[in-house]
């Protein structure tokens, strides 16, 4: 059995008896799995559970290893009004909605990424920027999802990140690069009234992040007045802020999506952390 740490952030207004009118979103990331329960009518997140393990890549686990995560399996037994799954990794390809050909999803995806062994290329839409996301998931995780949540919709976090940033309605949005850092890879986004740039990059050190970001700013012709907004749970964020401040007009840490209600316990972590999970209400 895997050694798993569980951290719960909940609201005193959350009562399990209400689950049948609530929505639950399960996030599968390389370094953690999280479960977010919210009230869609009140636009209120009531609870978030985070399951983490030492040196575990949850997206690479076998079906039996995933089944051995007791708090995850206990959560899957709970009945909600609605449930969704979000896969969060750098292995995704965005395509215009109008060009999506579900027969050719694997061919599209192979233009940018290697196909994982024993896996499937899935696609999703999220009513954002007329864009679809293609992403690659190992059969072991798909087996867990389909055996325990047969009818659940599966999304990729790239669209949720884009939708959440768009929801913030930043001023001078055209000059902003949104940088979300994950263990081993990062997302880079520029969105004004339309999606102008999105990509993921693997990295080994902070210097590589700065290099790719500045190259993107040059490509978008905003290097003269570039503002960077930082998101993520990575411990390198403070040092990245210091590095970027030397080269761009401003660097700021993100805040949680506006107009939603969060548990008081969310104050235990920084605003820019768990940004995607804090955006779960937008997952539709």
Q: What is the pLDDT of residue 133?
A: 95
Q: What is the pLDDT of residue 199?
A: 95
Domain positions in the chain: 167-253
CB-based contact 235:206 (threshold 8 Å):
no
Torsion of CA 184, 187, 188, 189, to 10 degrees: -170
Q: What is the pLDDT of residue 151?
A: 92
Reduced DSSP (H G I as helix, E B as strand, rest coil) percent helix, strand, coil of the chain, to 5: 35, 30, 35
d(CA 199, CA 112): 10
Adjacent-strand bridge partners of 50 = 7, 34
d(CA 69, CA 35): 13
DSSP-based three-state secondary structure for 21: helix
Adjacent-strand bridge partners of 25 = 36, 84
Q: What is the pLDDT of residue 236?
A: 86
Burial 203-241 (b: 16+ CB within 10 A, else e): beebeebbebbbebbeeeebbeebbbbbbbbbebbeebe
Q: What is the pLDDT of residue 1?
A: 62
List the structure tokens of 118. Answer: 């024993």
d(CA 100, CA 180): 26
CB-based contact 92:112 (threshold 8 Å):
no
Beta strands in the chain (DSSP E): 5-10, 23-28, 32-39, 44-52, 82-87, 92-96, 119-125, 131-138, 153-156, 176-182, 185-191, 195-202, 227-232, 250-253
Q: What is the pLDDT of residue 87?
A: 98
**CATH number of 167-253, picked from 2.70.98.10, 3.30.70.330, 3.30.460.10, 3.30.420.40:** 3.30.420.40
List the structure tokens of 106. Answer: 């694997």
Span 49-58, pLDDT tens digits:
999 987 779 9
Q: What is the pLDDT of residue 103?
A: 80
DSSP-based three-state secondary structure for 178: strand
What backbone torsions phi and psi does residue 6 show, to the nearest 5 degrees?
Answer: -120, 130
- Spans of the chain below 50 pLDDT: none
Q: What is the pLDDT of residue 128?
A: 94
Q: What is the pLDDT of residue 209?
A: 95
The three-point CA angle 25-75-60 to 5° equals 75
């Amino acid at each position: 059995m895997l050694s798993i740490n569980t951290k719960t952030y909940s609201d005193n207004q959350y009562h399990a008896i209400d689950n049948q009118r609530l929505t639950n979103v399960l996030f599968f990331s390389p370094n953690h799995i999280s479960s977010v329960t919210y009230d869609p009518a009140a636009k209120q997140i009531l609870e978030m559970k985070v399951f983490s393990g030492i040196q575990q890549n949850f997206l690479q686990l076998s079906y039996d290893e995933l089944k051995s995560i007791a708090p995850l399996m206990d959560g899957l037994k709970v009945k909600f009004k609605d449930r969704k799954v979000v896969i969060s990794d750098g292995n995704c390809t965005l395509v215009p909605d109008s060009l999506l050909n579900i027969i050719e999803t694997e061919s599209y995806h192979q233009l940018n990424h290697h196909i994982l062994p024993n896996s499937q290329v899935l696609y999703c839409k999220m009513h954002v920027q007329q864009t679809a996301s293609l992403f690659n998931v190992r059969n072991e995780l798909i087996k867990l999802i389909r055996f325990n949540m047969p009818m659940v919709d599966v999304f990729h976090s790239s669209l949720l990140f884009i939708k959440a940033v768009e929801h913030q309605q930043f001023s001078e949005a055209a000059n902003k690069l949104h940088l979300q850092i994950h263990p081993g890879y990062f997302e880079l986004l520029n969105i004004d009234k339309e999606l102008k740039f999105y990509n993921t990059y693997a990295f080994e050190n902070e210097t590589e992040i700065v290099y790719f970001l500045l190259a993107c700013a040059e490509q978008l012709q905003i290097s003269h007045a570039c503002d960077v907004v930082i998101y993520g749970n990575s411990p390198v964020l403070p040092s990245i802020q210091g590095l970027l401040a030397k080269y761009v007009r401003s660097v700021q840490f993100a805040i949680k999506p506006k107009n939603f209600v969060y548990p008081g316990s969310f104050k235990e972590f920084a605003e820019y952390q768990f940004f995607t999970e804090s955006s779960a209400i937008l997952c539709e």
